[in-house]
Amino acid sequence: MRLDKYISNASDYSRSQVKRLIKKAIVEVDGDIITNPATTIATTSKVYLDGIPIAMPGPRYFMLNKPTNVVSATKDSEHPTAIDLIDEPRTEQLQIAGRLDIDATGLLLITDDGQWNHNITSPHSDCKKTYQVMVAEPLCTTLIQKFQEGIWLEGEKRRCLAADLNIVDHHHALLTISEGKYHQIKRMFAALNNHVTTLHRIQIGNILLDENLEPGLYRPFTQQEMIQQQKTQPKVVHPKIVQENIGVTQQGA
């Protein structure tokens, strides 16, 4: 990585401020004074700024209780974004791991760990997400089987993967899905001639929404959640690789 990028990522200095500091010959890398901001350094390099060690911060993980009318995006011209609610340095490096519709609420994971984000959100990750769902029409137990068999969404070529429906009462259920298709839960219930009136996410992989987190508030992961998030690293299995491994060709599949 470039030296100026490393220092600006590891500190609150902007890239142009860092360039000026480097040119003042006060940056030492592995024992040498470096004055060229474009110098490439190793991730293991020991970097000192005016004698003070500068270390790259580790990846950051936050949970946000998303309220309605906030978009799961980093930028939006019309609505406040989830990132607008995060009061941290270097928010431009943060990404949202698994979006929620503007009218949906609940657990949103925010990180600057791109690989972790990919592992959670990849269509092949099999990462389970649980939602509290309220619907307009009464629920009946025959739906449990239908969700298990896979709901066929309008406009899709295949059924959804099996989903677990737990009926709480006539209009409330917990639904666990392992994909993340566009408006998936609303479309699943629409395919069953029902209508989702509220949708609230309470779990992604091993990470549970903190019940004490008011809508609009966020917090970093606890130590325990940091350990859990290691386990929320479902192996991303690409169908092509599986097919190659079991010797099935695209045509024969």
Window 212-241: residues binding ligand URA (CB under 6 A): none
Judge whether 206 and 128 are in contact, CB under 8 Å: no
Task: Write the interaction track for ligand URA spanning residues 180-219; mark x where CB under 6 A is met and - where it is not.
Answer: ---xxxx------------x--------------------
Q: For the chain, how long is the longest CA-to-CA vector? A: 73
| Nearer of residues 54 and 82 to ligand URA, judged by Cβ | 82
Tell me, yes or no, if 101 is annotated catalytic. yes
Q: Is 64 in the site for ligand URA (CB under 6 A)?
A: no
Which residue bears the tokens 């966020």?
218
Q: What are the b/e assignments for 32-66, b being 16+ CB within 10 Å?
A: eebeebebebeeebebebeeeebeeeeebbbbbbb
Least Å from the CB of residue 231 to ligand URA: 22
Size of the site for ligand URA (CB under 6 A): 8
Please say whether the beta carbons of 27 and 52 come within 8 A.
no
Closer by beta carbon to ligand URA, 151 or else 186: 186
For residue 92, the one-letter residue type is E
Q: Is 104 in the site for ligand URA (CB under 6 A)?
A: yes
Looking at the annotation, which residues are catalytic? 101
Would you tell me which residues interact with ligand URA (CB under 6 A)?
A: 100-101, 104, 183-186, 199
